[in-house]
Amino acid sequence: MNRADPEITVVIPHYNGEEILRDCLASLYQSTELSLRVILIDNASGDGSVAMVEKEFPSVRIIKLDRNRGFAGGCNAGIQMVTTPFVLILNNDTIHESGWIERLLVKLKSDKSLAVVQPKLLSYQDREYFDYSGACGGEMDIFGFPFARGRIVELVEKDEGQYDHLSDRIFWASGTAFLARTEVMKKAGLFDESFFAHMEELDLQWRIQLMGYTIAIEPNAVIRHRSGFTLGAESPFKKYLNHRNSLLMLLSNYRFLMTLYIFPIRLLLDYMALVFSIIKQDSGRVTAIIKAHLWILTHPGKIYRKRKLVNSIRSVYDKKIIDRLYHGSIALGFYLFGKRRFMDILK
């Protein structure tokens, strides 16, 4: 292939962190022999990271936003400029093993029904363990709670190759890193910017599956992630986004009758979590749940417009989607029934 005519554009949303960004870009270029276009979307950083890229990585195209539009807005600003057939969404706090992009590309080209492929995500800090953000492929229960092969709730497993040989079809690929068909991403409506951060990739990939496509994992492509660098696990804002975005995703993507069946049970699970958080004196979680529910109550127009968009691109019924989901509650399975590993879910 002519190196002046790459197939892949890498879109990296960024907000502060000069050293992690330098490490990411250096690793990216060292890990592949493919010709890449790289777009850095700067969400109004206040440090010297943009100047560093201009000096040390002059081939990187930099788009400077006038405000922080979050992961979703940053990615969208980049994807809208992509003209290559494939786009690689990549976090700025990742390090990459040799040949990982090549393996993702081979996988994606192997099946026209495949729209998104994720690499195996390992922890940068705890070298033998999966990364919390997506591990060996994302899964979800019917109530909108995500988990992963290698991470259930807060318990992260050691990577021993135990999920390398399962079916490669997953429900969601982590926004930490995934390769996708550009045209499919655009037809699906890109990321919902009202999510700001967290779960926007699940929402987008749910829509992509409603269009008739599938999502996969390529465990032979490996990268490492400094999970939680931007928003730590205990951040009250992160807890709020996770609760609110999960509710918005559920209310947007199921058909009306399925929503009527699922949503009351989901509310009950949220109230149980609220009571549990009060008992544990977890004020951050309590506030997050209450604020999330208030947002849903006060934004019916947003939910209506989102459902209208989803219905305009839908070609698959809910039954096909539900067949790909865990039919119980992952939270109840974890806390009440001791399902601590993904292998326990399969039993």
Residue 324: Cβ within 10 Å count:
16
Q: Quick one: 175 and 249 in the same domain? A: no
3-state class of 18 per DSSP? helix
Q: Quick one: 155 and 255 in the same domain? A: no
Confidence (pLDDT) at 346: 80
3-state class of 123 per DSSP? strand
Structure tokens at 302: 């947003």
Confidence of residue 2 (pLDDT cuts 50, 70, 90): very low
Tell me the pLDDT tens digit for each residue of 63-72: 999 999 999 9
Burial of 3 from C-beta contacts in 10 A (0-12 / 13-18 / 19+): exposed
Confidence of residue 1 (pLDDT cuts 50, 70, 90): very low
Q: Quick one: 66 and 145 in the same domain? A: yes
Number of domains in the chain: 2
Contact 215, 208 (CB under 8 A): yes
Domain that holds residue 244: 236-346
- Nearest alpha carbon to residue 23 among 91, 72, 86: 91
Q: Quick one: 166 and 34 in the same domain? A: yes
Q: Quick one: 84 and 196 in the same domain? A: yes
Tell me the pLDDT tens digit for each residue of 239-297: 999 999 999 999 999 999 999 999 999 999 999 999 999 999 999 999 999 999 999 99
Confidence (pLDDT) at 106: 98
- Nearest alpha carbon to residue 210 among 305, 315, 319: 315
Rounded Cα distance, 134 and 148, in Å? 6
Confidence of residue 5 (pLDDT cuts 50, 70, 90): confident
Does residue 3 have a pLDDT over 80? no
pTM (2 d.p.): 0.94
Q: Quick one: 151 and 12 in the same domain? A: yes
Domain at 177, CATH number: 3.90.550.10
Tell me the pLDDT tens digit for each residue of 292-315: 999 999 999 999 999 999 999 999
Confidence (pLDDT) at 307: 97
Q: Quick one: 270 and 147 in the same domain? A: no
Q: At what angle do helices 200-210 and 300-313 cross, to 10 degrees?
A: 40
Confidence of residue 227 (pLDDT cuts 50, 70, 90): confident
Residue 59: Cβ within 10 Å count:
10
- The identity of residue 131, as a single letter, is D
Structure tokens at 158: 């050691």
Tell me the pLDDT tens digit for each residue of 40-59: 999 999 999 999 999 999 99
Burial 121-150 (b: 16+ CB within 10 A, else e): bbbbeeeebbbbbbbbbbbbbbbbbbbbbb
Q: Quick one: 181 and 257 in the same domain? A: no
Average pLDDT, the chain: 95
Cβ neighbours of residue 237 under 8 Å, at least 6 residues apart?
231
Structure tokens at 290: 């209450």
Q: Which residue has the tokens 């539009």?
A: 69
**In-domain check, residue 231:** no
**In-domain check, residue 214:** yes
Mean pLDDT to the nearest integer, 107-123 = 98
Rounded Cα distance, 186 and 339, in Å? 37
Q: Quick one: 45 and 148 in the same domain? A: yes
Does residue 4 have a pLDDT over 80? no
Q: Quick one: 201 and 262 in the same domain? A: no
Rounded Cα distance, 201 and 208, in Å? 10
Q: Quick one: 160 and 210 in the same domain? A: yes
